[in-house]
Amino acid sequence: MSQYVSRIAGTFVGPPRLRLPGQHRRPRRIAMLSVHTSPLHQPGTGDAGGMNVYIVELAKRLAAIDIEVEIFTRATTGGLDPAVELAPGVLVRHVDAGPYEGLAKEELPAQLCAFTHGVMQAWAGQRPGYYDLVHSHYWLSGHVGWLASERWGVPLVHAMHTMAKVKNAALAEGDRPEPAARVIGETQVVRAADRLIANTDEEAAELVRFYDADPAKAAVVHPGVNLECFCPADGRAAARARLGLPQDAFIPLFAGRIQPLKAPDVLLRAVAVLLERDPSLRGKLVVPIVGGPSGSGLAKPEGLQKLAARLGIADVVRFRPPVGQTRLADWFRAASVLVMPSHSESFGLVAIEAQAAGTPVVAAAVGGLPVAVRDGATGFLVRGHEPAAYARALHEFLDHPELVDRMGAAASRHAQSFGWDTAASATAEVYTAAVHDHRRHGRAHHG
């Protein structure tokens, strides 16, 4: 697995001098910025999702290799401690910026000045040189990081997580495009960052193609998965017993935020196609939808339930609220297959988590999902979003029940290469290269 090298337009590109001599030290303490979603929030609710998991797991693993992490996030309830220890070496700092509740992500740009002020206040109370580097997540944090890195004289490493131009190129029907202000903001952050961390080669190529990023700044680091939590454990039967699911059912699962981008409606329509073709399946199918409305899905929180009723499949669909990681791992184990029909995914962490738990995946062939899922070996990749195409993929498992176990075992093996320890050590190397280059350029400036 090549963490750094991206194949763009047929040539190998990547951050230069990654194999650095011993004297180039790693940063000791970094400021990590996550403006719009707290690492303490439950993934699958509101704006909390894969990025929350990413930040928490990466920070813990960085701390384990002696890089202290302080995560700055917006306070979303009153009375929160200004600083909370998430794990040894990982501190979450709550910054007051705007009203605690009821603030949509689209309204956050107006609070960036207040958030930046809070970050600067925390820094002002420390000795000079307290932070060695800023790592920002998502474009809103990137703007705060841009100013902080310049003020502190340290490098900025930025992770996009999702990109407006990429999302707008693959909009779900009826979904609203990302605003021009975000496109401009992302372009500025891409230009300002010393390093850009991309989840996949495809994402690195998109940074160059859509945002004119310097290819030498783009480092590819695959996200990881918590392999202790997401593992086959005691198997499908035991997980189904714990969740009260029938042992002999065929269970295609959707797990994630309920919004047009994630396309849970495609799964429901595919199930309707299956039942139309073979009504006898009705007694055998259970379709759990585990997650809460988010983003543009908040406009119609009951939309999916109404669709299930309209399609005449409400009796086989089970809506469940978001759950913690341990419970989510059980849902993955219990499922026959995870279905991810997303219109856009920078990586698709859920796909790796399900596979690590021993469950095959049927996913859209978009973004990072072709990296996460090995087509024909650990699941099936589907081109486009036609419900009939997803119904065909699901029918493969119905026609060949042994595929669930065979692909599930291959999926579990495949997921082993996506541990967070690997991701953390790769990220640490990107940090080291950024610090080294920043110092060299600083010396050149002053020389």
Q: Are 134 and 149 in contact, with CB atoms under 8 Å apart?
A: yes
182 marked as binding residue = yes
Please check whether residue 367 is in contact with residue 210, taking contact to mean a CB–CB distance below 8 angstroms.
Answer: no
Per-residue 3-state assignment (H helix, E strand, C coil) for 379-447:
EEEECCCCHHHHHHHHHHHHHCCHHHHHHHHHHHHHHHHHEHHHHHHHHHHHHHHHHHHHHHHHHHHHC
- Count the Cβ atoms, other than its own, within 10 Å of residue 393: 18
User: pLDDT tens digit string along 2-27?
Assistant: 433 333 333 333 344 444 444 568 89
153: annotated binding-site residue? no
Distance CA 391, CA 161 (A): 30
332 is in an annotated binding site: yes
- Tell me the DSSP string of 126-191: S-TT--SEEEEEHHHHHHHHHHHHHHHT--EEEE-SS-HHHHHHTPPTTPPPPPHHHHHHHHHHHH
Q: Is pLDDT of 187 > 60?
A: yes
- Tell me the C-alpha distance between 246 and 239, whole Å: 10
d(CA 379, CA 339): 10
Q: What is the pLDDT of residues 161-172, one digit of tens each?
A: 889 888 888 777
Structural domain spans, the chain: 29-224+420-438, 236-416
Please, what is the Cα angle at 411 between 7 and 409, to 5 degrees?
A: 150
Q: List, for residues 290-340, the tens digit of each pLDDT value.
A: 987 765 555 555 889 999 999 999 999 999 998 888 999 999 999 999 999
> Rounded to an integer, what distance in angstroms lies between the CA atom of residue 254 and that of residue 17?
42
State pTM to two decimals.
0.80
The larger pLDDT score, comparing residue 44 to residue 269, is at: 269
Confirm or reject CATH 3.20.20.110 for domain 29-224+420-438, answering yes or no.
Answer: no
Contact 78, 89 (CB under 8 A): no
29 labeled part of a ligand binding site: no
Q: What is the pLDDT of residue 49?
A: 61
Handedness of CA 372, 366, 263, 398 (dihedral sign): negative
Say yes or no: do domains 29-224+420-438 and 236-416 share a fold: yes
Q: Which residues contact 33 (CB under 8 A, 6 or more apart)?
A: 71, 72, 119, 134, 135, 136, 137, 141, 142, 144, 145, 148
Say how many residues make up the chain. 447
CA distance 25 to 316: 57
pLDDT in tens, 77-133: 888 899 999 999 999 999 998 877 777 777 888 789 999 999 999 999 999 899 999
359 is in an annotated binding site: yes
On whether 47 is known to bind a ligand per the annotation, the reply is yes
Sign of CA dihedral 66, 72, 77, 81: positive
Phi, psi of 183 (to 5 degrees): -60, -45
Confidence of residue 69 (pLDDT cuts 50, 70, 90): very high
Q: Are 166 and 210 in contact (CB under 8 A)?
A: yes
- β partners of residue 319: 289
Question: Which range (48-52, 265-269, 405-409) has the least confidence?
Answer: 48-52
Fold of 236-416: Rossmann fold (3.40.50)
* 323 is annotated as contributing to ligand binding: yes
Q: What pLDDT was estimated at residue 293?
A: 72
257 known ligand binder: yes
pLDDT category of residue 36 using cuts at 50, 70 and 90: confident
> In the β-sheet with 68-74, what is the strand arrangement from edge to edge?
83-87, 90-95, 68-74, 29-34, 133-137, 156-159, 195-198, 218-220
316 marked among binding-site residues: no
The pLDDT of residue 409: 98
Q: Is 99 annotated as a binding residue?
A: no
10 labeled binding residue:
no
Query: What is the model's pLDDT at position 189?
Result: 98
85 among the known binding-site residues? no
Q: Is 42 assigned to a binding site? A: yes
In 352-367, which positions are buried (b, 16+ CB within 10 angstroms) versus exposed (e)?
A: bbbbbbbbbbbbbebb
The answer on whether 217 is annotated among ligand-binding residues is no
Any idea what DSSP says for residue 28? S
pLDDT at 4: 36
Q: Tokens for 145?
A: 């990081």
Instruction: Supply the pLDDT for residue 72.
Output: 97
- Of 125-129, 381-385, 432-436, the poorest mean pLDDT is in 125-129
DSSP 8-state secondary structure symbol assigned to residue 15:
-
Spatial separation of the C-alpha atoms in residues 263 and 340, rounded to whole Å: 8
pLDDT in tens, 79-92: 889 999 999 999 99
Q: Is 399 annotated as a binding residue?
A: no
Cross-strand partners of 8: 11
CA distance linking residue 436 with residue 424, whole number of Å: 18
Flag whether pLDDT at 159 surpasses 50. yes
